[in-house]
Amino acid sequence: MKLQAVSNRKLYIQIADQIRDQIAAGAVAPGVQLPSERDLAQSLGVSRPTVREALIALEVAGLVEVRVGVGAFVKGPLARETDLPEQSASPVEIMAVRRLLEPEAAALASQGISPAGRERLKQTLIRMGEETASGQWSSDSDRTLHMTLAEASGNSVLRETLEGLWASRTGAVDEQFHRHLGDIDAVRAHILSDHVSIADAVLAGNADAASAAMTAHLDYVAQAMTDVWD
């Protein structure tokens, strides 16, 4: 009886493996642009976000150069044995769970944030404003704001779960994913505005507005993770 081995590797890594092997075999020469994300998704029978994660994994490994709004270009020379960065959760999966949990964390924080938490929120916004104005993107400031709200929620399980999600964002693929977003002026400005709206609602003690503002923010980021590539 012949059985095929079952792979438990993430789908985006399996796709990146195939693209890497095709490049190493000479199917695409160095300097040449890979097929579009849409074409790759159709030929592989997967979603475009999954292809996007695969391309970023290849970029982190130094095999391709991703030019946002243009495409992915092969770098060379390449070898089949080049390791690909693999993490336990994909950026898209992490964002999906954040969209479920963080609006509730913001709502709870609006009802229980401490004076120290209020001050940390205000100072973080000031720092984020300075970073945005200077064309910088800081994942540390982003994490501080969101985890301040998680801590202020008063729910230790929710806080620990969100800590785990943010820890997952330290993976090379996730960091590169968000670095591409942070390189775009309009995206940075929109995210800052979102954070101001969230903080204003929390500091005003308006749970419904805090939840709605967080939902709008995460919906925007999730959409931007797709739109900036088109």
Same topology, domains 11-74 and 91-227? Answer is no
d(CA 173, CA 61): 10
Q: What is the pLDDT of residues 36-46, one digit of tens each?
A: 888 988 988 88
Average pLDDT of the residues in 102-116:
98
Across the chain, mean pLDDT equals 87
60 C-beta neighbours (distance < 10 Å), count: 19
pLDDT at 2: 45
Pick 11-74's CATH classification: 3.40.50.1980, 3.30.360.10, 1.10.10.10, 1.10.40.30: 1.10.10.10
- State the average pLDDT over residues 102-109: 98
Q: Identify the CATH assignment for 91-227 out of 3.40.605.10, 3.30.70.1090, 1.10.260.40, 1.20.120.530.
A: 1.20.120.530
Determine if the peptide bond prior to 77 is cis (ω within 30°).
Answer: yes
Residue 20 CB partners (closer than 8 Å, separation 6+): 58, 61, 63, 78, 80, 82, 84
Q: What beta strand segments (E) does 2-142 contain?
A: 64-67, 71-74
Q: Which of 68-82, 97-111, 112-126, 173-187 has the lowest mean pLDDT?
A: 68-82
Domain ranges of the chain: 11-74, 91-227
Query: What confidence tens digit (pLDDT) does each residue in 148-178 have?
Result: 999 999 999 999 999 999 888 777 787 887 7
pTM: 0.80
43 DSSP assignment:
H
Residue 86 pLDDT grade (very low, low, confident, very high; cuts 50, 70, 90): low
Between 112 and 222, the more confident residue is 112
Predicted local confidence at residue 157, as pLDDT: 97
Instruction: Give the C-alpha separation, 165 to 101, whole Å.
Output: 10
Burial environment of residue 29 by CB neighbours within 10 A (0 to 12, 13 to 18, 19 or more)? exposed
